[in-house]
Amino acid sequence: MKVVHSPETLPVEVRGGVVALGVFDGVHLGHQAVLKRTVGSARDLGAAAGVVTFTVHPDEVLLGVEPDFLTSLEHRLRLIGQLGVDCTLVLTFDAALARMEAEEFARGVFRDGFQASVVVMGSGGRFGRGGEGTPERLARWGRPWA
């Protein structure tokens, strides 16, 4: 599995695929279900499977609390790769990322970075300032990059 740290450095072969977004702090059964759905959907489309995750838990920046990760970043990446993911984008979750509007995040990561055909998130998944980006909002936007 390829690991990159900027949407601009995503390899061309992952473009147009299926992307999952999440912290995946323990790669537990719920996370595995999201990742397996991502990989399965990608394979059905004949496309690559990608993941977007973070170096630190967002709660560390947003709430000032440092949650205990069940696994290290390196171990999480290994587990994600074992599930068949082709490429993971690891973003540094900092104050600037926390302030980013949801649509800006979706455009920069999903549209311009991965050029994703499908985005997969768990039911509690959120992105963008104030958690304004939800699976429901992403669905209402349709393809925010269109």
17-60 per-position pLDDT tens digit: 999 999 898 888 999 999 999 999 999 999 999 999 999 877 67
At 52-86, the pLDDT tens digits run 999 987 767 777 777 776 788 999 999 999 999 99
Q: Which two tokens stand for residue 122?
A: 């768990």
How far is Cα 88 from Cα 77, in angstroms, rounded to an integer?
A: 8
How far is Cα 50 from Cα 48, in angstroms, rounded to an integer?
A: 6
How far is Cα 73 from Cα 79, in angstroms, rounded to an integer?
A: 10
Query: What per-residue confidence (pLDDT) applies to 2?
Result: 98
DSSP classification of residue 133: B
Instruction: Tell whether the torsion through CA atoms of 6, 8, 9 and 12 is positive or negative.
Output: positive
Provide the whole-model pTM: 0.90
Query: What per-residue confidence (pLDDT) applies to 47?
Result: 97
